[in-house]
Amino acid sequence: MNEELHRRILYFLERILVRGAHYRLLVVIATIGIVSAVGGLLLVAGGESSEGPAEAMWWAFLRLSDPGYLGDDVGLWRRLVSTVLTILGYVIFLGAMVAILTQWLNDTLNRLERGTTPIRHSGHVAILGWTNRTRIVCQELVTAEGRLSRWLELRGVRSLRLAILAEELGPEHDLELRAALGARYRRQNFVLRSGSTLNPRHLERVDLLHAASIVLPGIESTSERAVHHDATVIKTLSAITAEHRASGDLPPCVCEIFDPRRVAMAELAYGGPLEVLASDVIIGRVLSDSLREPGSSSVLDELLTHGTGGTMFLRTWRRAPTSVRQIIRGTPGAILLGVAGESSFRLTADGDEPVMTDDALVYVAPSYEATEWREGVTTTRPQPLDAAELVIDPPSRGGRVLILGWSRRIPDLLAQLDSHTDESWTTDVLSIVPPERREADIREHGVDLKRLQVAHRTGDLTIPTHLAAVEPHTYDRVYFVASDWPTTGYASDARTVATYMALRTALAPESPPPILVEVTDDGSIDLFDAGHAEVVVSPQILSRLLAQVVLRRRLRLVVDEIFGEGASQLRFVTPRAPDQVRFGALAATLRAQGTIAIGVRRGDLGGELVLAPTDELELDFRRGDAVVVLEACLERRST
């Protein structure tokens, strides 16, 4: 019977104590009351109190709560009871009470640090997920300078606020942002909240309804969760729509998915304006263009990067209709690329083409201020060269490509190479992935290769003898695939570096062909020879494109046109012209021929890239300078 009663009492106390700190405080208060009552009654029973039980209990409570009264007591019994009460006071007041309050305070601070309290902001950018894209997206948004100021002005807010929802928060997130932003980092501009993007209640913590824009970045392609990423994004879009269906218009959203076949599903899931970046296709196109024209990825990377060289800017034309020639004349510090509409972008090299009111003009310039049109400007534009002095040879593309490795992006890359009807490519793929699986991946992606010839070979890329067996020196291009089967991006890059070293061993002492390397971390760039290898950091390009689309949605159309299936193409040309010529004169001559010069590359692959240079920049073709141009394709790419 006593054992059963003991268990019942313990169970009762347990159920009370686990309810929280306030219940624990109630237990301590009740214990203090009981001890005070017992102490007072003991004092009365010993004949040491003449003032009644109530005063005796008060006397006991004072000894229990303050040990300073101990020296005032007279008499053996009174001192004995007082000593016991004082010792219990140390245990209950200084022990249990302080411990409970300390734990309560710590729990409260931990809960606040976890970021479970819903924010109350308006006009902020909500980033759903902490991935290898998040840091770069934040960096590009914060450093957007003038473009960001206008974006904030349109939304009626004074400063940029970023609300980031991450499954797990820790001090490393804050340190990563500090390292990325440097002096631009302002802790008050960042709000970190913990939660899952799949939980509608957690989404409320970043106040999506009052956000100016929502960003769902992609995750590391080597992550175990990458298989379910697209489904997660679509479910999150559906949850946002369902939760705020009756609340009004949803804010614009930019999301990244891997598989282009799921774009329509994402668009159907979201009830507001949505831009979907199919990363496998985007990177496949960038890699394809870099194989066709080595160095193309470095141009795209700089065009998307704020504060570095020449950047793409978009300015809406608010004046009366004006010719392209007049606009070019009024913006001497910028290079006009063309006009971006709601669904398309077109180059505008012809000087007589009209620009209508509210057209969106796309420039390459060192700053947004350089794109401001100055009416009546008297700056003398450089005179074009004599047409007979400038000869540009047509591109000669095609040849043999060796692809080292396999990933889900390869089918899209092959489709891009196959889409150019005026080029002839032959591709060999060397990988440990079985050829049957590679063929199945190509079929599953819906790729039907009509012109491109693909041969599958099997071998371990990190073994020099396996690489030497395919004779890599006989190829015109070599492409290192960023493998998507290791568990981390660092492991993927480590395998890529090992393959690169194995290739150098297999090629020695012969000179290697142009090499294209895809990595997942920008810390790996310096591990490759810049003179022979073009390094593409795919998460970096995707992150910068995400940030650009957040600020100006139409800039995505420009990227699609130049690095996608549009009728424009990027080239590095070394024209047959006078050995030394100024960039302005050369650019004026090329524009008259329908070609837009946007910059210069000093030397061969890996040389310094100068976009939107001044007209006075001297070019020396004897030392290998090349002009970066945009021109119409000889044949429009097939769809």
Query: Which one, of 242, 173, 240, lies nearest residue 211 by Cα?
Result: 240
Please answer whether residues 532 and 515 qualify as being in contact, where contact means their C-beta atoms are separated by less than 8 angstroms.
Answer: yes
End-to-end CA distance of the chain: 85
CATH number at residue 67: 1.10.287.70
Same-domain pairing of 402 and 504: yes
Block residue for tokens 């390009």: 541
Q: Does 410 reside within a domain?
A: yes
Q: Does 146 reside within a domain?
A: yes
Q: Does 635 reside within a domain?
A: no
Higher pLDDT, 177 or 100: 177
pLDDT at 404: 92
The token duo for 43 is: 């004092």
- The dihedral region occupied by 606, where left means phi > 0, alpha psi between -120 and 50, and beta the remainder, is left
- Strands 213-216 and 125-128, bridge-based pairing: parallel
Residue pLDDT, tens place only, 4-63: 776 777 777 777 767 777 777 787 778 878 887 888 788 777 776 666 788 888 877 777
Query: Which one, of 168, 188, 170, 193, lies nearest residue 117 by Cα?
Result: 193
- For the beta carbon of residue 234, count every other beta carbon within 10 angstroms: 20
Same-domain pairing of 81 and 201: no
Same-domain pairing of 168 and 253: yes
CATH number at residue 469: 3.40.50.720
Q: Does 378 reside within a domain?
A: no
pLDDT at 636: 42
Residue pLDDT, tens place only, 146-193: 566 677 777 777 788 899 998 887 778 888 888 888 888 888 889 888
Domain boundary among 113, 136, 162: 113
pLDDT at 146: 59
Block residue for tokens 């956000």: 211
Residue pLDDT, tens place only, 296-314: 999 999 888 876 778 888 8
Same-domain pairing of 70 and 158: no
Domain boundary among 538, 572, 588: 538
Same-domain pairing of 136 and 222: yes
Percent of the chain with pLDDT over 90: 18
pLDDT at 507: 73
Q: Does 511 reside within a domain?
A: yes
- Overall number of domains in the chain: 3
pLDDT at 50: 60
In this predicted structure, the answer to whether residue 574 has a pLDDT above a threshold of 80 is yes
Same-domain pairing of 78 and 212: no
In this predicted structure, the answer to whether residue 367 has a pLDDT above a threshold of 70 is yes
User: Residue 190 and residue 531: Cα distance in Å, rounded?
Assistant: 40
Same-domain pairing of 100 and 151: no
Q: Does 213 reside within a domain?
A: yes
Q: Does 367 reside within a domain?
A: no
**Mean of pLDDT values over 456-480:** 89
In this predicted structure, the answer to whether residue 484 has a pLDDT above a threshold of 70 is no
**Average pLDDT taken over every residue of the chain:** 83
Same-domain pairing of 109 and 130: no
- Indicate the residue type of 270: Y
Same-domain pairing of 478 and 524: yes
Question: Which residue range(s) make up the domain with 190?
Answer: 125-272
Query: Which one, of 482, 555, 556, lies nearest residue 522 by Cα?
Result: 482
Q: Does 305 reside within a domain?
A: no
Domain boundary among 113, 142, 167: 113
**634 confidence band (pLDDT: 50, 70, 90):** very low
**1 confidence band (pLDDT: 50, 70, 90):** low
The token duo for 99 is: 């411990």
Same-domain pairing of 129 and 250: yes
- Indicate the residue type of 289: D
Same-domain pairing of 472 and 511: yes
Query: Which one, of 131, 121, 133, lies nearest residue 550 by Cα?
Result: 133
- For the beta carbon of residue 221, count every other beta carbon within 10 angstroms: 25
In this predicted structure, the answer to whether residue 269 has a pLDDT above a threshold of 90 is yes
| Strands of 237-341, DSSP E | 253-257, 274-278, 311-316, 322-323, 335-340
Same-domain pairing of 132 and 250: yes
Quote the pTM value: 0.80
Which residues sit opposite 332 in a β-bridge? none
